[in-house]
Amino acid sequence: MFPPIEPYDHGHLDTGDGHLVYWEVCGNPEGKPALVVHGGPGSGCGPGSRRRFDPERYRIILFDQRNCGRSLPHASDPAADLSTNTTHHLIADMERLREHLGVDTWLLYGGSWGSTLMLAYAETHPERVSEMVITGVTMTRRSEIDWLYRGVGRFFPEQWQRFREGVPEADRDGDLLAAYARLVSDPDPAVREKATHDWLAWEDAVISLEVNGTPNAYSDRPDASRLAFVRICSHYFSNAAWLEEGVLLRDAHRLAGIPGVLIHGRFDLGGPLENAWQLAQAWPDARLVVMPDSGHTGSETMHKEIAAALAEFAQ
């Protein structure tokens, strides 16, 4: 990690449909453009992401996806309408931001949900992507969503039972994620808070075996960020991110010519290694690096591998 750095420029991008998307730029104004694509969906960007890049060699661009972080309106407000927050809206926001900042091509860096958004953007605009560095590969297929919120419960049966029982009884054998999406948009703040707590407790359970990772990574955030995260996650995952099943893997041939490094923890229970392996088979210019000591939230060795990949592409 490089020393802390502050942006030299920032602002809100007016998308024209009621959203103001926060962005910032730091590092070298003449450096190689790189865009940080955060996870969640709904996590927002933190200052630590700036420190992944050599500030002398990179022009580091960060943005908060719709309704989270410093973007407005914020999803912690139950009145905030999420209907214009979809994967396709986010792809358009990224392209609008690229044009606004006068970038021709940029490196994409991110992980988890961010990897899905990066892949969707790159397959739509391959001519605008110079390289990609992806950690915790996901493609948000329905099978992956079902694994994360149901299948992996075989390792945590008690915690998954509590997650299931967090929704009304009539919804427990149906679409749990849609039920949670309704609960975290309820007018009653107590209902929203309980649903947020129950969702984050499940997310924390899934990463709880990662001895080199970050415990309670999901619940250890401010209240407004917690609610926004769960609102946006449940909104996206109950709609399978508005992606045709398997489309990102099917269209990976569109990434030909874009060098990529896929960095994945062998002990990532929420996003199994199989996801990264399948993508590496379909993307001829990608290199898969399996981290033997890492899960979804990473480790020191994973951080070093990320640094090495970003240093390689800074040439």
The reply to whether 296 belongs to the active site is yes
The reply to whether 112 belongs to the active site is yes
Name the catalytic one among 112, 185, 234, 299: 112
Reading the block at residue 229, the tokens are: 């995260």
Reply yes or no: is the peptide bond before residue 47 cis, omega within 30 of 0: no
* Cβ atoms of residues 236 and 90 within 8 Å: no
The reply to whether 268 belongs to the active site is yes
Reading the block at residue 111, the tokens are: 């992980």
Looking at this protein, which amino acid is placed at residue 168?
A: P
Three-state SS for 166? Answer: coil
* Cβ atoms of residues 126 and 254 within 8 Å: yes
* Cβ atoms of residues 285 and 257 within 8 Å: yes
Name the catalytic one among 76, 93, 296, 299: 296
CA triple 186-197-237, angle to 5 deg: 70
Name the catalytic one among 71, 93, 268, 294: 268
Three-state SS for 315? Answer: coil
* Cβ atoms of residues 62 and 24 within 8 Å: yes
Active site members: 112, 268, 296
